[in-house]
Amino acid sequence: MLRGSGIRRSSAMIAGAAVLLLTACGSQATNDVLEELDPPQIDYIEDENELEVEVIEDDITDEGEVSSITDESMEENETEEAASPEEKGGEVTVQGEIRELYLLDSNGMVAPQSVEVISEEDELTALAEHLVQEGPVTENLPNGFQASLPAGTEVLSADLNEQGVATINFNDYFGEYHPAQEMQVLQSLTWTLTQLDDVDKVSIQINGEDLTAMPHNDTPIGDGYTRAHGINLEMTDQTDLVSTEPVVVYFLNQTEDQTYYVPVTRRISQEEDKYQAVINELLEGPHYMSELLTDFRQEVELIEEPEYHDGTVVLNFNEALLSQHDGTALSENVLNMIVLSLTEQEEVNSVSFMVESEEEIMVSNGEALSEAVVRPDHVNIGQF
């Protein structure tokens, strides 16, 4: 597994040298450097010792191929065509799909974890059931994570209409969540279900009755809930919702067993260049009160405004982007944080990198990155 260095934590103390982190509110905070850190596993990683970066040609199409999941057990679980019982002459095994479940980490943040989901009925029902505590996901939960829906919650029905609205009908136990976790429940359910191509919005029922507001804090959901409502919101009561728009950026967090990407929603001015604003938020780093990490050097900056061509955002950074191998290579974490963040924009399929206008860049394993990078199929592929 490749090792990253220079990872900064915004509040928790860990071994290493202290550095200064710039924060959104201009406050100073002490941050520690992780000397060694396993990058989160995503589809860029070919095996435990090699980083395989998925690239596409300049005339990128809307549907670029991505490299396969590397964990052998996951490759087996994703077998497209299993032999019939007659052919195998043995016990029938149900094959599942690798899906992203948005679970709660130990800090109460919602983060995707890629796990196998077996759909014995329909996939909507299976995904919702995998979010229930003490449910089918229990044996596959990564350390430090928990499901978002209360134990005892049952999916009574799950329907999808032609407008892309998934209506999930729960029993009474759905309302037994802690009031402080109301937003996490909504975000976890919404982001998990809307990974399906046909699902754009989630509507909730309890015992067949439509919910117009959540049971505890009266969060309005009468019009359904979408990804546009955000995830892990960083907003205050003074946030201007009229002249700003949301963007999702990815930072890092870690447990004893894994390092993983965490999406965060921030609001940017509608007058800003959207792609420039996303990079600015990444460079600004995690909020000083959070437990999130970043792998960007403080000196990193764009030397030109981002350009957009046919689904690809082109970025030109200064040399500070190269933080690995004595300033000659790009960190895997930085690469992934940028690609994940920019491809949250619906029109962006890939990201092209330059450093001081040079197109060929070395990644921290010595591979040359000379073409546009597409978003991976799966994020945070853990070993449970």
Q: Is residue 87 part of a domain?
A: no
User: In the prediction, which pLDDT does 22 show?
Assistant: 28
Q: Is residue 100 part of a domain?
A: no
279 within 8 A of 250, measured Cβ to Cβ:
no
User: Could you list the residue range(s) of the whole structural domain that residue 120 is in?
Assistant: 110-229
Residue at which a domain ends, from 166, 200, 229: 229
97 within 8 A of 78, measured Cβ to Cβ:
yes
Residues 241, 362 within the same domain? yes
Residues 261, 156 within the same domain? no
Place of tokens 């409502």: 229
**Residue 14: exposure state from Cβ atoms within 10 A (0-12, 13-18, ≥19):** middle
Residues 128, 237 within the same domain? no
Given pLDDT bands bounded at 50, 70 and 90, which one contains residue 265?
very high
CA of 340: how far to CAs of 67, 171, 337, 369, 375, in Å? 15, 35, 5, 17, 6
Q: In degrees, to the nearest 5, what angle opens at C-alpha 218 toward C-alphas 138 and 287?
A: 65
> Whole-angstrom Cα distance, residue 240 to residue 36?
40
Contacts with 121 (C-beta within 8 Å, 6 or more apart), sequence order: none
Residues 342, 271 within the same domain? yes
Residue at which a domain ends, from 229, 259, 289: 229
State yes or no: pLDDT of 112 exceeds 80: yes
Strand-pairing partners, residue 210, are 205
Residue at which a domain ends, from 202, 229, 256: 229
Taking residues 200-226, report their average pLDDT. Answer: 98
Give percent of the chain with pLDDT exceeding 70.
74
> Whole-angstrom Cα distance, residue 41 to residue 381?
5
Residues 213, 240 within the same domain? no
> Whole-angstrom Cα distance, residue 240 to residue 244?
6
> What value does the mean pLDDT of the chain take?
81
Listed range (68-72, 230-234, 247-251, 312-316) with the worst mean pLDDT = 68-72
Q: How many domains does the chain have?
A: 2
User: In the prediction, which pLDDT does 306 show?
Assistant: 98
Q: Is residue 292 part of a domain?
A: yes
Model confidence over 149-163: pLDDT tens digits? 999 999 999 999 999
Residues 242, 215 within the same domain? no
User: In the prediction, which pLDDT does 120 show?
Assistant: 78
State yes or no: pLDDT of 260 exceeds 60: yes
Residues 222, 311 within the same domain? no
Its pTM stands at: 0.78
Residues 222, 247 within the same domain? no
The one-letter code for the residue type at 315 is L
> Whole-angstrom Cα distance, residue 231 to residue 261?
13
Residues 261, 296 within the same domain? yes
Token pair, residue 52, equals 């395989």
Model confidence over 275-295: pLDDT tens digits? 999 999 999 999 989 999 999
Residues 364, 241 within the same domain? yes
